[in-house]
Chains A and B, each alone.
Chain A
Amino acid sequence: MLRYLFRRLLLMIPTFFGVTLICFLVLKLTNSDPVTSSNAGAMSGHQISREAIEHLRHFYALDRPWPVQYLRLVRRLVTLDLGTRWQDGRAISEVIGEALPITLLLSSVSLVIAYVLAIPLGIFSAARRGSRRDTVTTLVLFMLYSLPSFWVGTMLIVYLSSGRFVSCPWLGRPGCFPLQGWHSFEGFEQRTILGKLADVLWHITLPIVTLSYGALASLSRYMRMGMLENLRQDYIRTARAKGLSERRVYYHHALRNALIPIVTLLGLTLPTLIGGSVIVEQIFGIRGMGFVALEAIRLPDYPLVITIVAFTGLLTMIGVLLSDVLYAIVDPRIRLQGVSAK
């Protein structure tokens, strides 16, 4: 197990290089000098002095050939010497430190909700295979799966937050949900912990709905398929022949095996949620990683873009590794060497 983990961690190094290299080369495509051509000066409202430009060029090694620039970049990433954001001169590490927990909060809550709802839904559907309820559930989930999240988010804001269609006067505002942010801007600090929690929950309800239904739809489809696949197996017939109750057959025999692929999907769902949060954060004005990333791309603030891509890349790799390890833990038939040879 340890040897396998060690090998996988070693393999992450070339992948990390690849991720940063691709992003670096894409940004190099512009063939322009980000320091002089960027809005760095305009954004902060000051004219940048010649010395400052030279300093920046030197800091990002822009006066050197690109392989050197790239290696410097990697060195800065590895040593966490990330520099500052051009927009306002804040340390990038600080910006990410603020944005990352928000994105993680959004995606982990959505992930939990999706799993908690998807598993029973899948079992329910599989148990009543072919019935009208199964057909309806399957169709609804299928539609959810095709529903664009940017549309759902926008519709939720238009109908629930804008105040034109539904209003909650007792909240002292036109709409029933906030338009922006993950907490209130006024008086948030003065609230009690419980008050803060309620406020955050109220703010993230719509984003969470927008983020989780897609994962819910695909997970429950997998769950249903997994259950059906297992219910066809011989050991289920054996279990039934032994005289076990249907309940026991479902929950003790079929479910356990059907859960295995669902567990491994964890590693694949996490990156989708992080990618999805780019859109959701944009719609709901939540300053998470996706929001900061789009801001950086618009500016453009290349060092920040690369840092964020490298960061999310690392997160994805960890997620995938985690799911592979989980796979080995839940399924005794899997040997880790076998997984790595796949």
Chain B
Amino acid sequence: MTAKTVVMVAERSSASKLFHQVVKQPIQRAALVVLFVMVTVALIADMLASSQPLLLCFHHHWYVLPNLIHPSELRIYDNDLLMKHLGVDDWAVLPLVPWGYNGHDLTHVLSAPDAVHWLGTDSSGRDVLARLLHGSRVSLIVGVLSVTVLVTIGTTLGTLAGYFGGVLDVLLMRILEIVHSIPTILLLVTLLSVLAPEGYSAVIAMTVVIGLVWWTYVARLIRGEILRVKELDFVHAARAQGASTWRVIFGHVLPNASSPVLVSATFALASAILVEGALSFLGFGIPDDMASWGGLLNEVRSNIEAWWLAVFPGAAIFVTVTAFNLVGEGLRDALDPRTR
């Protein structure tokens, strides 16, 4: 029992040490705050921007959070219409941004930022701020899920190839070379146009496609680490003690080879968000009826004077990507003894 406690304490202290090393610099602290805000916004996007009120008393009937529940009798109303139909005793609590990400305000088409639409509207009268807030979901989901996919595939194949070597290793290295020879963006665009996904399946398709194309970087990295670690003394010692192959891999080799993976996963997250933006910008990514940052930027191509469609979504992508990259830097500096 004592041994276990000691291990747990040691683990917690090394994790918190890592955290403290990462947040040592003010800029990294700022990056973490940005990411925290980003995740919060993504989680509560419906509470911040919605076409329906948070709380509503309508014709003596109470609605709690109609923005989440979407009661069928309110379907024909958006906030604007609802306000006009409110009776004497009726009242409503509107969200901060009283526009849904897919609500068309046809009286304000392609309007510059003003008091009604704080960040302007796009060419079909949709509120840019609402779409920005909801777009954070797509970016974060695609980023996190695709990194999960690519780290899983990359770690599995890289470990197998690095540890067992032989034919497996040769095969993996060949595959890596093949995938590296194909321009990633072309492969991604081709795959997405072949799959032609719609709705939420587009997010899944994007995730899987990015993961399937990018696992090679992690595989190469972990293979190299495994090659280095597997010849170290403590691994030989574990083997000499009679530990099974799997125990050696999972208990000894992988934990000691995993820190560069953590670093590269953070950078991969940034790149995945970037590439999601690029694909949506090119018109191959998230369909138009969902909000995505790249999709917003895409609209500038047909309305080149609408600066608000360029500035805000691009800035959102830039800030998120920079924040992830900064955290990645911090992790690398904390984990890599050479840069200390």
**Closest A residue, CB atoms, query B177:** A15
* Given A154-B297, A158-B300, A158-B305, A279:B281 Cβ within 8 A: yes
A275 touches B184 (CB 8 A): yes
* Chain A, range 283-304, C-beta contacts under 8 Å to B: 283, 290, 293-294, 297-298, 300
CA distance A164 to B309 in the complex (A): 14
CA distance A139 to B26 in the complex (A): 13
CA distance A26 to B208 in the complex (A): 14
State whether the Cβ of B189 lies closer than 8 Å to any Cβ in chain A: yes
CA distance A53 to B181 in the complex (A): 33
User: When each residue 316-333 of chain A gets 1 if its CB lies under 8 Å from chain B and 0 otherwise, what string results?
Assistant: 110010000000000000
State whether the Cβ of B245 lies closer than 8 Å to any Cβ in chain A: no
CA distance A145 to B328 in the complex (A): 13
CA distance A317 to B186 in the complex (A): 16
State whether the Cβ of A127 lies closer than 8 Å to any Cβ in chain B: no
CA distance A29 to B190 in the complex (A): 11
CB distance from B298 to the nearest CB of A (A): 9
A150 touches B297 (CB 8 A): yes
| Partner-binding segment picked from A191-199, A200-208, A307-315 | A307-315
Q: Which of B174, B177, B186, B300 contacts A312 (CB 8 A)?
A: B186
State whether the Cβ of B69 lies closer than 8 Å to any Cβ in chain A: no
A278 touches B186 (CB 8 A): yes
Q: Which of B190, B274, B282 contacts A305 (CB 8 A)?
A: B190
Q: Find chain A residues with CB under 8 A from B189 CB.
A: 278, 293-294, 297
State whether the Cβ of A117 lies closer than 8 Å to any Cβ in chain B: no
Q: Find chain A residues with CB under 8 A from B301 CB.
A: 154, 283
**Closest A residue, CB atoms, query B314:** A151
User: When each residue 104-137 of chain A gets 1 if its CB lies under 8 Å from chain B and 0 otherwise, what string results?
Assistant: 0000000000000000000000000000000000
**Closest B residue, CB atoms, query A139:** B27
CB distance from A140 to the nearest CB of B (A): 12
* Given A27-B190, A148-B278, A148-B321, A157:B304 Cβ within 8 A: yes
Q: Find chain B residues with CB under 8 A from A18 CB.
A: 174-175, 177-178, 181
Q: Which of B179, B183, B318, B326 contacts A278 (CB 8 A)?
A: B183
Q: Which of A154, A161, A279, A316 contacts B181 (CB 8 A)?
A: A316
Q: Find chain B residues with CB under 8 A from A142 CB.
A: 322, 325-326, 329
User: When each residue 95-107 of chain A gets 1 if its CB lies under 8 Å from chain B and 0 otherwise, what string results?
Assistant: 0000000000000
State whether the Cβ of A282 lies closer than 8 Å to any Cβ in chain B: yes
B186 touches A146 (CB 8 A): no
* Given A19-B178, A146-B318, A274:B193 Cβ within 8 A: no
A164 touches B305 (CB 8 A): yes
CA distance A47 to B301 in the complex (A): 32
CB distance from A76 to the nearest CB of B (A): 19
* Given A145-B325, A148-B318, A154-B297, A22:B304 Cβ within 8 A: no
State whether the Cβ of A147 lies closer than 8 Å to any Cβ in chain B: yes
A309 touches B194 (CB 8 A): no
Q: Find chain A residues with CB under 8 A from B187 CB.
A: 22-23, 26, 309
State whether the Cβ of B294 lies closer than 8 Å to any Cβ in chain A: yes
Q: Find chain B residues with CB under 8 A from A158 CB.
A: 300, 304-307, 310
A15 touches B282 (CB 8 A): no
Q: Which of B183, B190, B277, B304 contacts A297 (CB 8 A)?
A: B190
B311 touches A146 (CB 8 A): no
Q: Find chain A residues with CB under 8 A from B185 CB.
A: 275-276, 278-279
CA distance A148 to B293 in the complex (A): 12
State whether the Cβ of B270 lies closer than 8 Å to any Cβ in chain A: yes
Q: Find chain B residues with CB under 8 A from A298 CB.
A: 193
Interface pairs (27), CB distance under 8 Å:
A18-B181, A22-B179, A22-B187, A23-B187, A26-B194, A146-B270, A147-B318, A148-B321, A150-B277, A150-B314, A154-B281, A154-B310, A154-B314, A155-B311, A158-B305, A271-B180, A271-B181, A275-B186, A278-B189, A279-B278, A282-B282, A293-B186, A293-B189, A297-B189, A312-B183, A313-B183, A320-B180
Excluding A154-B281, A313-B181, 11 further A-B contacts by CB distance (< 8 Å) are A15-B174, A26-B191, A142-B325, A146-B322, A150-B281, A150-B314, A157-B304, A279-B281, A297-B193, A309-B190, A312-B186
Chain B residues close to A by CB (< 8 Å)? 27, 174-175, 177-187, 189-191, 193-195, 270, 274, 277-278, 281-282, 284, 294, 297, 300-301, 304-307, 310-311, 314-315, 317-318, 321-322, 325-326, 329
Top 10 nearest A-B pairs (CB, nearest first) are A151-B314, A18-B178, A146-B322, A275-B183, A313-B181, A162-B304, A146-B321, A150-B281, A164-B305, A316-B181
